[in-house]
A and B are shown apart, each in its own frame.
Chain A
Amino acid sequence: MSKRKVLIVDDSLAVARQLRAILEATHDFEVIGHARNGIEAVKMYRSDKPDIVLMDIVMPEMDGLQATRTICALDAEAKIIVISSAAGVSDKVTEALRLGARNIISKPFEAGTILSVLRAL
């Protein structure tokens, strides 16, 4: 089975490196890019067509909720997992799911949570 292509969207370089290390330690996923804000994420989604997007919420330029809305409007089948420090706020969770996110992971996260959520997609 070919590896599923993942786009990481987070303004934190440290988080992006951590996610890449978790995913690339498996044989299931391949990180194809890292966007540092929502605008870059939308551009990279169009050009690189990832299978899965890991999306932060609080980012400069365009936040992750706006980017989720835009990507889901482009592709109703988009598989977006929101990873956010704001996952404890029920309104944010509701909004992200309504906009089309498939799941929400809270920060700080554990490798096992990331992999189990992605494998369940």
Chain B
Amino acid sequence: MAVKFFGQYLIERGVLTAEKLLAALEDQRGRNRRFGSYALQLGYLRPADVQRIQQQQRSVDARFGEVAVQLGLLTPEQVEEILLRQRQDHIMLGELLVERGDISPEVLARELAAFKDDQAPWSTGELLLPADVRDQTVARAMLELPVRLFARTTGEQVKVGEAQWAEHAPQASFAVHVPFRGTQSLAFGIACDTTAAELLTRGLLGDEALLEDAEVIADAVREFANVAAGSILARLAQLGRGYDIQPPVDGMPSLEGGRLLVVAPLSAAGDVRFVVRGL
């Protein structure tokens, strides 16, 4: 139910060995060329420009092409052209595994269908974000995914709703956050009541007996935050944003002079709020 990576899904299912996956990933890395390599080949950038863009990327959370345009080194049209070429040449992992003889086309079709089904989002309505959220893509990943995961874990219908800025962290019986390390100091948090915490525990651990232990319920909320953060991390990586997560911390994230973006989805599964700091 979490955001997964197809290669990991295949080894977890026992369809592929870890050795074969590693070899295929290495092959894929060699064959799928990076943006900068196309720009060099087309004569749009010099090696020194590539270095300058990469250096800038260490302090700015943006993709190579975006930075190149900001620095006036590429035009938006050139970025589009390179992205198109990159997409046309890109070899997907599944396709490569078939080409290498690691899996048959039939197995690929079957596993891909199962994977897509596993990754299909539940219908939870649309997340509305305030217009002044700087990075709407990151905000969407950090708030939409946890709501979907919450719906799947509790088995309840949940409607996302509207995210709002808050000057204070929400108060709740259970509150946990996960710091994200990267170019920005982001944090994702969950605050919920006992009903939601118990539903999460039941959904995650699948064992009624565990509900009698208050410490296990608090720990299950921490684990949910960890799992949600892992899915956010995977989505951010897919978007080309390199972050890392730290272990869950009890309580809401500190405001650090800023505001929190909060969404309070409508749900029969108790009261739950998801918050993000650093956007």
List residues of A (32-51) whose CB comes within 8 Å of B's CBs.
Answer: none
Asked if residues A90 and B12 are in contact (CB atoms below 8 Å), the reply is no
How many B residues have CB within 8 A of the partner chain?
Answer: 41
Asked if residues B230 and A107 are in contact (CB atoms below 8 Å), the reply is yes
Give every chain A residue within 8 A of B18 (Cβ-Cβ).
97, 101-104
Asked if residues B231 and A88 are in contact (CB atoms below 8 Å), the reply is yes
Known: A90-B25, A93-B8, A106-B8. A17 touches B205 (CB 8 A): yes
Asked if residues B5 and A93 are in contact (CB atoms below 8 Å), the reply is yes
Asked if residues A13 and B219 are in contact (CB atoms below 8 Å), the reply is yes
Asked if residues B12 and A86 are in contact (CB atoms below 8 Å), the reply is no
Which of B2, B210, B246 has most A Cβ within 10 Å? Answer: B2
Asked if residues B201 and A14 are in contact (CB atoms below 8 Å), the reply is yes
Q: How far is the CB of A6 from chain B (nearest CB, A)?
A: 18
Instruction: Check: A68 CB closer than 8 A to any chain B CB.
Output: no
Asked if residues A106 and B11 are in contact (CB atoms below 8 Å), the reply is no
Asked if residues A89 and B5 are in contact (CB atoms below 8 Å), the reply is yes
Asked if residues B14 and A87 are in contact (CB atoms below 8 Å), the reply is no
Closest A residue, CB atoms, query B12: A105
Give every chain A residue within 8 A of B206 (Cβ-Cβ).
18, 111
Q: How far is the CB of B216 from chain A (nearest CB, A)?
A: 5
How many A residues have CB within 8 A of the partner chain?
Answer: 36
- Pick out which of these stretches binds chain A: B82-90, B161-169, B220-228: B220-228
Instruction: Check: B107 CB closer than 8 A to any chain A CB.
Output: no
Give every chain B residue within 8 A of A101 (Cβ-Cβ).
18
Instruction: Check: B133 CB closer than 8 A to any chain A CB.
Output: no
Q: Which of B14, B207, B219, B234 contacts A117 (CB 8 A)?
A: B14
List residues of A (63-115) whose CB comes within 8 Å of B's CBs.
Answer: 84-91, 93-94, 97-98, 101-108, 111, 113
Q: How far is the CB of A106 from chain B (nearest CB, A)?
A: 5
Asked if residues B210 and A17 are in contact (CB atoms below 8 Å), the reply is yes
Q: Which of A91, A98, A107, A117 contacts B226 (CB 8 A)?
A: A107
Q: How far is the CB of B178 from chain A (nearest CB, A)?
A: 8
Give every chain B residue within 8 A of A59 (Cβ-Cβ).
247
Give every chain B residue within 8 A of A12 (Cβ-Cβ).
219, 222-223, 226
Asked if residues A88 and B4 are in contact (CB atoms below 8 Å), the reply is yes
Asked if residues B234 and A88 are in contact (CB atoms below 8 Å), the reply is yes
Give every chain B residue within 8 A of A120 (Cβ-Cβ).
14
List residues of A (10-32) whose CB comes within 8 Å of B's CBs.
Answer: 11-15, 17-18, 21
Q: How far is the CB of B125 from chain A (nearest CB, A)?
A: 23
Q: Which of B4, B14, B204, B245 contacts A58 (CB 8 A)?
A: B245
Which of A91, A103, A120 has most B Cβ within 10 Å? Answer: A103
Q: Which of A91, A93, A116 contacts B14 (CB 8 A)?
A: A116
Instruction: Check: B56 CB closer than 8 A to any chain A CB.
Output: no
Known: A17-B216, A85-B226, A107-B230. A98 touches B207 (CB 8 A): no
Asked if residues B2 and A89 are in contact (CB atoms below 8 Å), the reply is no
Give every chain A residue within 8 A of B237 (Cβ-Cβ).
88-91
Closest A residue, CB atoms, query B229: A85
CA distance A103 to B245 in the complex (A): 21
Q: How far is the CB of B146 from chain A (nearest CB, A)?
A: 12
Give every chain B residue within 8 A of A105 (Cβ-Cβ).
12
Closest A residue, CB atoms, query B230: A85
- A-B contacts, 16 of them at CB < 8 A, read A14-B219, A14-B222, A14-B223, A18-B206, A58-B226, A84-B230, A87-B2, A88-B233, A88-B234, A89-B5, A90-B5, A93-B8, A101-B18, A106-B4, A107-B226, A108-B204
Residues of chain A at the chain B interface (Cβ within 8 Å) = 11-15, 17-18, 21, 58-60, 84-91, 93-94, 97-98, 101-108, 111, 113, 116-117, 120
Which 4 A-B pairs have CB atoms at the shortest separation, nearest pair first? A85-B230, A88-B234, A14-B219, A88-B3
